[in-house]
Structures are given as C-alpha cells and as structure tokens.
Amino acid sequence: MRKLASIAVAALSAVLLTPGIGQAQMPPPPLEYYGDLAAVEEARISPSGTRTALLMSAGGQRVITILDSAGTPIKQIVVGDAKVRSIEWVGEDAILLQRTETGRLPPQYRNLAGDRKIEWWRGNVIPLDDNQQVVSIFADQRSIVSAIMGTYGVRNVNGRWVGYFGGFRRGSTSGDRNRRLDDEPALFAVDLATGDAKLAAYAGDYPALREWLVDADGEVGARLEIRYNSGRWKIENGDGQTIAEGSQARGDIDLLGFDATGTKVIYWIQDDAEGRVRRYAVPLTGGDREELWPGVGIHRYIFQPYTSNILGVQLTDRTVLLSDETKQSRLQSTLDLFSYASEARIVDFDPEFRTLIARTSGNYDSGTWYRVDGATNARSIVGLERPAIQGPVIGNVSTITYEAQDGLEIRAILTLPPGREPANLPAIVLPHGGPTAHDSEGFDWLAQAFASKGYAVLQPNFRGSTGRGLGFIEAGDGEWGRKMQSDKSDGLMALAEQGIVDPDRACIVGASYGGYAALAGVTLQQGIYRCAVSINGVSDLEPMLRFERTGSRDIFTRSYEKQFGADTDLDAISPRQNASKADAPVLLIHGRDDTVVPIEQSFVMRSALRGAGKEVEFIELDGEDHYLSQPETRKRMLEAAVAFALKHNPPN
C-alpha cells in the first residue's frame, strides 16, 4: 500500500512540475473507477498517537489496516462486504466498528415505526490480538434489543474502556424476547472488553425525546428532554437539577457538548424571532447562560478525544478558535500546511496532539490522507482515496455565483471537463440531496464521472441549502418545486450567458431530494432539460411525508409544515401527479433496501409516466440502500446514468 501511494504521489508531482503536459494528452480513467468505493474511507489515530487505523476498500471488500508510527502495516482485519459506518480506537489494541444492516421490526414492535424497512445499527469491538474474542454490542443482553440507537462516546473509566450507547429495553427483564419495547431508547454503559451492559440513564415514562452527555469520568453529566407535543424543553445536570429550559415548537434544539473545562453545557437552539441559530453555555451548577461564537460561520466543532468537551471551533474560512492557545496554534499550523487544497480538514488527533490526521481533496486531488507530526509539522501520506484518478484527469472545480430570478445570490460548484475549452459545453445539473446540505469544492465522484465524459457539471447550492446561515435555509421554506427549483435552472442560464454551456444541451441528475429535483425539472418545469435521472428520488410528496411521520409526534409535524407550508397543495409540486407534463425521457434508479425514500416512490412514478405515454426506464438495485453503499450496484447505477445522458444529450 505504501509503495502504491508513493508511486501515485510521484506521478502526480511529475505532472504538476513538468511544463508542457496538457490535460488533453491524458485519457480519462475507465468510468467504473469513479464508481468504486474510496480506497481509504476513514482514518483514526490511537490514544497514544503511535498507531493509525485505516478503513479501506479493495475488490468490493472492506479491510481495516493498522499502521505503526513509521507507516508500516502491522495488522489487517478483513471486514468483508459489511456496510461500515465508522471505526474508533478502543485503547491501543482494539477497534470499535459500527455498521448497519437493512431489516424490519418484528411484528410486536411495529408500534414504533410501522411495517417498514429500517437500517439497524450494530457494533463490534475487534481486538488486534486474534486470540481474543470479538465483542458484539448488546448481542448477549436478553433485556436489551440487539441494535444501537445512538452513540454517546467511548471513555476510559478506571482503566477499562467503556462505550455509551442508546438502546431499547424490553418491557420485562425476565428475558422474554416477545415483550413490548420501551417507547424511547435508554442509555447503557457497555464494557467494551466483555460486552456487559448496565443501565446508565432511563428512557423516562412519558413521550419525550431525550439525549445525554457523558463526561470524561463516564458519568451522565447532562440530559436534554424535549416534549413531543409542546416543544417544551429542559436541560438537567447529572444530579437532575434543571439548569436551562424553554420552548421550541419544532424541537430545534440540541446538546453540543461540555466546554473545554467540563464545567458548562453548550447547546444550540433555533431563534425563530431572530431567524438564526444561537449557541449558549450554561454552568452545570446553574446560573446565567452565555452566548458563544455569535455572528461567525462555524464549519465544525473541535472535541477533546474521548470526552464531550468542546475545545473550540473551526470557522468556514479555516480559522481555528480554541480556548487553549497552544492547541489552537498546533491545529492552525496543521491546517495551514494544506492551504493550497480546495478542501482540507483535520480528521483526528490524539489527546495530547502529538499526531494528527488530515484529509485534502479538490483540484488535482481525488482525496489524500496525511499523518502529521504535531511537534514538527512533518507530514506523510498514509493513503489515497482513488490512486488511479489523479492530476490532470480531474476536472477543474471552482465556486461561481449568480443571481436567481428574484435577485437572491446563489453559489454553485462548477466542474469543467478536463482537456476541453470551457465554451458551449453540454451540461449536467447535479443538485445535492437533503435538501439541507451543500456541495463544496472537494472531489465529487459523480460530478467528476460526468465531467470525464465531456460535460460541464453544475452543483447549485440553491435556497434551502446549508453553509450560509439559517436565513438562507429558511429561504427554502415553502419553495419545493418553486424557487428552489428555478434556482437550479437559473444557474444553467447564467453559465449559458457566459458562453460556458449550451443551454439546449442539458440534463438534470440527482439523488434523494436531488432525485425529486431531477423529476421536477421535466414535470414542473418544461423546455429546459433533455433528460432526467432520479436516483433514490422522491416523486410523490403526500405519501412520502406520511411515511416520514410514521410514529412521529407534534414537533416533527410542525417541522414539515414549516418546510412545505401548512396549506401547500402537495400534489401541485409532486412530479408523480404531474407526470403528464413530462417533456423529456426519465431514468429511475432505486435501491430495493432504501429505508429513507422507499422504492415505491419510483414504482408509482414509473406507472404515472407510462400511463401518460412518456418515455421512462427503471432500474432496481438489489441489496442496495439509500447511500449506495455497495460497490457493484453503485457502479451499475453510474454506468446506467452516464449512458442515459450520453444517449439523450451526447457531448459531441
């Protein structure tokens, strides 16, 4: 692996440093390379800072590779085709692996979520010593369902490593597995060496959402409780004393962590009157709250490892603000090493900041993972995400701005095809999912795949997207299929005015909400796109929201009403209900194990389009979920989507 990384870096350096090498001289990699899972998906540093764990993919299998301080592999753990969601060190000699499996609730438990597929979270502690047994979280606890319902951290408690997980208690401790579950998860402390679990905090006996903060000593230091019906909330300290309380109609409040000293609780709440999110710190002993980081754009919170203590924040401009000047300087200097990169972030570090893991991505870089010495800033590459996609074969990525029809400034990511002049290009509009998410200038495998075929790819951060404050998110309320939709086509027109794209040669492609936007682009809008590709997309809002609200309470209903408008005619903005207006061919792709947007959303869209005599194709992905977690089905999706665009919107 180290040899492969060295060869790839040397090749990249040669391309960057040798004049006269043009992009057009390098053919694009095979399409399937873009659809592969990243060769390195995650990297974590051990508590001592001497070992690195890499979650890797090779040949459709996931492997955890352990490196020593010199970067030499010392252990490999074959995980297989499991859908791994995270890895974390348990001391120096074991890995906590969390994964998901698609399944259904047993009949006696369907009062919780109805008869629907769900994604079960599982956890395994895997020792590096092959002579020790793997521990499965909750698997041998007769009074607890074998599924994780939230993770609250790993702590070293009196020399033993303990994990804190949400879980459903069965209605009786008698061991009867057919007894009804508690309505809400409780909090359990699990000895990660033995799997023994004990109750750390009760779920409670009335309908409310509860979350906990576990302090550095393994004690529950704070609890948030939100009443489902009213939105009344309170924060209690470890002794059960209420230290903050109020009301938020939609339950838009959450615990963030403790402050750096562990003596205050930090939480955020949406201030509807001001139209922004506020963050407060309140002493655990009670007292006045203090507003934190007002008026700044926060990219991420920085936690002290193996605690819930927030050391500070990284701002959207890569500035680091920490309470400890030494740690702030160390993090800032590490980030500054990668100032050249379109995207750079500190992924992990040990408690003493001796070793840090960083990741970069963007132009000329499909994803690179670094190990950085905290004392000297010496860095070494520990893994490349896509070794075969490097340098000039990566399409240039930049941020552009344009005005929507009502004058709102929209930012978007533009990826240009390598080796082609940015003039009169065919286009792919690629809206993100969410819709409360946003695209950035990092390497995007789907955008780059289309760019490799000659398309300019536009990823609009339309109103309702994150990254620009609460006001911009709320600008999307009530605008599904309306201004959120025209924001996307306005970007296409802006590129056409600059001569970059040909507006008569465009398709729209998207997944999840982006799939809805793709379908809306040819049903709620006309005359703009030559084709539409919906991947795991929403087509009919009324049954989709009914599905989302299964088992939900008043605070969630109020959230949906705010997003869509309480009196909105959902049929009027549903592609399925407007299938007769479709003016371009449609490709529907959907995973059969999608637990977020059920595959029925594509079934009914296909039926509606066929009934209206429209051109439609449908591909079902067996064993695939909402996140395209499996390499073979993901590549099948990519090949089908690109082939559909090439057929209906050829680049030449």
∠ Cα 151 146 597 (to 5°): 70
User: Whose CA is closest to 331, among 307, 308, 303?
Assistant: 303
- With 0-12 / 13-18 / 19 or more C-beta atoms within 10 angstroms meaning exposed / middle / buried, residue 402 is buried
206-221 burial: b if 16+ Cβ within 10 Å, else e: eebbbbbbbbbebebb
| pLDDT band for position 11 (cuts 50, 70, 90) | very low
Alpha carbons 413 and 488: distance in angstroms, whole number: 12
Selected from 3.40.50.1820, 3.40.50.300, 1.10.40.50, 3.10.310.40, the CATH number assigned to the domain covering 394-648 reads 3.40.50.1820
Apex CA 212: angle with CA 258 and CA 280, to 5°? 40
pLDDT at position 106, please?
A: 62
Q: Which pLDDT belongs to residue 275?
A: 80
Is-contact 310 324, C-beta < 8 A?
no
pLDDT reported for residue 104: 76
Structure tokens at 546: 């009914």
Interatomic CA distance for residues 166 and 83, integer angstroms: 20
CA distance 590 to 536: 5
pLDDT band at 122 (very low <50, low <70, confident <90, very high): very high
Residue 290 has pLDDT above 90, yes or no: yes
Q: pLDDT (tens digit, 9 = 90+) per residue, 569-582?
A: 999 999 999 999 99
Q: Give the span between the Cα atoms of 45 and 463, in whole angstroms.
A: 38
Tokens representing residue 382 in the block: 């520990």
- Give the pLDDT band of residue 10 (cuts 50, 70, 90): very low
Give the containing element (helix H, strand E) for 187. strand 186-191
Angle of helix 554-564 relative to helix 541-548, nearest 10 degrees, comes to 150
Please say if the pLDDT value at position 18 is more than 50. Answer: no
Q: In whole angstroms, what is the distance from residue 468 CA to residue 476 CA?
A: 12
Distance CA(138)–CA(190), nearest Å, equals 8
Confidence (pLDDT) at 556 = 73
The Cα angle at residue 640 between residues 635 and 642, in degrees rounded to 5 = 95
Residue 582: what are its φ and ψ, rounded to 5°?
-60, 130
Find residue 313's DSSP bridge partners. Answer: 301, 321
Predicted confidence (pLDDT) per residue in 348-383, tens digit: 999 999 999 999 999 999 999 999 999 999 999 999
Do the beta carbons of residue 477 and residue 565 sit within 8 Å? Answer: yes
By mean pLDDT, which of 160-164, 318-322, 450-454 is the weakest?
A: 318-322
CA angle 549–551–556, rounded 5-degree value: 45
pLDDT at 652: 82
- The better pLDDT of the pair 449, 208 is held by 449
What does the mean pLDDT of the chain come to?
A: 90
- DSSP state at residue 359: E
DSSP assignment of 141-161: -TTB-SS---EEEEEEETTEE
Mean pLDDT across the stretch 535-550? Answer: 84
